[in-house]
């Protein structure tokens, strides 16, 4: 019988601290109820194949050394496969099919989710268990190829799931299973961008700030810490206010756009307690914290200015194997 294995990993949203987290502040992120799926199927002979349904790509991996010379979009997945092999996972000839509900380039962690699902599916094919740490490290290899200088917040979130207080180097500092008592509305502006561009322009702006950099980072870290406490005690008005301040700082460092501002203000006018861009910015998505009962109005107001807007479950289970045979 042909061996087969299917895994999935969730999207993520950064609730506070993006960009600044690359320079050492804490960040808060949550897994979202939107998924990337990977199906691995054992083949009798090499070459192997990687198929991406959404990207419309089908690439060939000629042999067990996993060398790859295909399109850049699938390079992160190839890096994940090599990271698995470097950890002594004995990968047979395979067909790996990736399909995803998570839009690419929208700040919702599509690349990390696809990498984590791919790694789990392939490990499942050979019946190997992976620890969360091991899955994080392998997924991080894909993120390095996709983003250059990642803090690790995306892979940590899609691998572990939940609502996470994160710091680069430390990983998960604290974690809640889910965001309870309030709704998270996500709107995709439809404007696509890479993560690498905004990350490097923010890093160079921070360098040019001189001593102001230290104060700015310390203010953001303080805001993130206060937000984590607000989540713990369910003080959502305070959390919303802190998200608004965080958005103002992201705007100040140049990663907002008039389109994102329109969505943010529409959400606030419709009753959101807080609204901000999420992820690298310069396009991508906006999140809003909506009290129960007002999520419909917030979603509609954001949706009129975005490609789509929807309330998503925040704090779903992390990457998992769905089936193996
Ligand atoms: O790729 P995105 O849009 O989810 O952004 C990642 C978050 C950043 O803080 C901008 C970069 C990082 O590695 O933390």
Decide: 150 in ligand 1 pocket, CB within 6 A. Answer: yes
Res 325: pLDDT: 66
Distance, in Å, from the CA atom of 36 to the CA atom of 101, rounded to the nearest integer, reads: 6
Q: Are strands 171-176 and 48-52 parallel, antiparallel or unpaired?
A: unpaired
Decide: 221 in ligand 1 pocket, CB within 6 A. Answer: no
Task: Report residues of the chain scoring pLDDT below 50.
Answer: none
- pLDDT tens per residue, range 247-279: 999 999 999 999 999 999 999 999 999 999 999
Catalytic-residue membership of 129: no
Distance, in Å, from the CA atom of 219 to the CA atom of 271, rounded to the nearest integer, reads: 27
Res 261: pLDDT: 98
Distance, in Å, from the CA atom of 277 to the CA atom of 285, rounded to the nearest integer, reads: 6
**Dist. CA 270 → ligand 1 center (Å):** 27
- Can you give the pTM of this predicted structure? 0.96
**Dist. CA 280 → ligand 1 center (Å):** 5
- CB pairs under 8 A, 24+ apart, for 55-61? 55/104
**Dist. CA 124 → ligand 1 center (Å):** 28
Q: Which atom of ligand 1 is nearest to the CA of 22?
A: 14
- pLDDT tens per residue, range 188-245: 999 998 888 999 999 999 999 999 999 999 999 999 999 999 999 999 999 999 999 9
**Dist. CA 113 → ligand 1 center (Å):** 13
Which residue's alpha carbon is at the smallest distance from atom 10 of ligand 1? 280
Decide: 21 in ligand 1 pocket, CB within 6 A. Answer: yes
Decide: 109 in ligand 1 pocket, CB within 6 A. Answer: yes
- H helices of 47-152, in order, are 75-86, 110-125, 132-147
**What share of the chain in percent tops pLDDT 90?**
90
Count the neighbouring beta carbons within 10 Å of the beta carbon of residue 81.
Answer: 25
Distance, in Å, from the CA atom of 260 to the CA atom of 202, rounded to the nearest integer, reads: 17
Which residue's alpha carbon is at the smallest distance from atom 7 of ligand 1? 279
Nearest CA to 273 out of 283, 285, 287 is that of 287
Decide: 76 in ligand 1 pocket, CB within 6 A. Answer: no
Which residues, including other chains, have CB under 8 Å from residue 213's CB and lie 6 or more apart? 23, 206, 207
Decide: 154 in ligand 1 pocket, CB within 6 A. Answer: yes
Beta bridge partners of 198: none
Nearest CA to 261 out of 271, 249, 279, 247 is that of 247
Catalytic residue, chosen from 90, 104, 129, 154, is 154
Count the neighbouring beta carbons within 10 Å of the beta carbon of residue 124.
Answer: 23
Three-state SS letters, 148-179: CCCCCHHHHHHHHECEEEEECCCEEEEEECCC
Decide: 283 in ligand 1 pocket, CB within 6 A. Answer: no
**Dist. CA 148 → ligand 1 center (Å):** 11
């Amino acid at each position: 019988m042909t061996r087969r294995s299917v895994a999935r990993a969730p999207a993520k949203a950064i609730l506070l601290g993006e960009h600044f987290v690359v320079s050492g502040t804490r960040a808060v992120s949550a897994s979202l109820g939107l998924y990337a799926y990977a199906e691995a199927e054992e083949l009798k002979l090499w070459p192997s194949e990687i198929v991406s349904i959404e990207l419309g790509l089908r690439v060939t991996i000629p042999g067990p050394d996993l060398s790859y010379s295909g399109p850049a979009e699938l390079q992160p997945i190839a890096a994940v496969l090599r990271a698995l092999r470097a950890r002594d996972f004995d990968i047979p000839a395979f067909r790996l099919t990736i399909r995803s509900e998570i839009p690419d380039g929208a700040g919702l962690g599509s690349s990390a989710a696809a990498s984590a699902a791919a790694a789990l599916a392939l490990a499942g094919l050979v019946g190997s268990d992976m620890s969360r740490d091991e899955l994080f490290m392998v997924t991080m290899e894909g993120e390095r190829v996709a983003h250059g200088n990642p803090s690790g917040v995306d892979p940590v979130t899609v691998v572990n799931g939940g609502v996470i207080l994160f710091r680069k180097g430390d990983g998960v500092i604290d974690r809640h299973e889910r965001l309870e008592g309030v709704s998270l509305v996500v709107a995709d502006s439809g404007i696509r961008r890479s993560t690498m561009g905004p990350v490097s322009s923010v890093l160079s702006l921070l360098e040019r700030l001189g001593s102001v950099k230290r104060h700015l980072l310390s203010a953001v870290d303080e805001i993130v810490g206060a937000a984590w406490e607000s989540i713990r005690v369910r003080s959502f008005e305070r959390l919303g206010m802190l998200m608004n301040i965080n958005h103002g700082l992201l705007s100040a460092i140049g990663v907002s756009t008039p389109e994102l501002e329109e969505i943010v203000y529409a959400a606030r006018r419709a009753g959101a307690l807080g609204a901000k861009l999420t992820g690298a910015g310069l396009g991508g998505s906006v999140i809003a914290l909506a009290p129960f009962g007002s999520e419909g109005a917030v979603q509609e107001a954001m949706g009129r200015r975005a490609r789509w807007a929807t309330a998503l479950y925040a704090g779903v289970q992390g990457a998992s194997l769905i089936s193996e045979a």
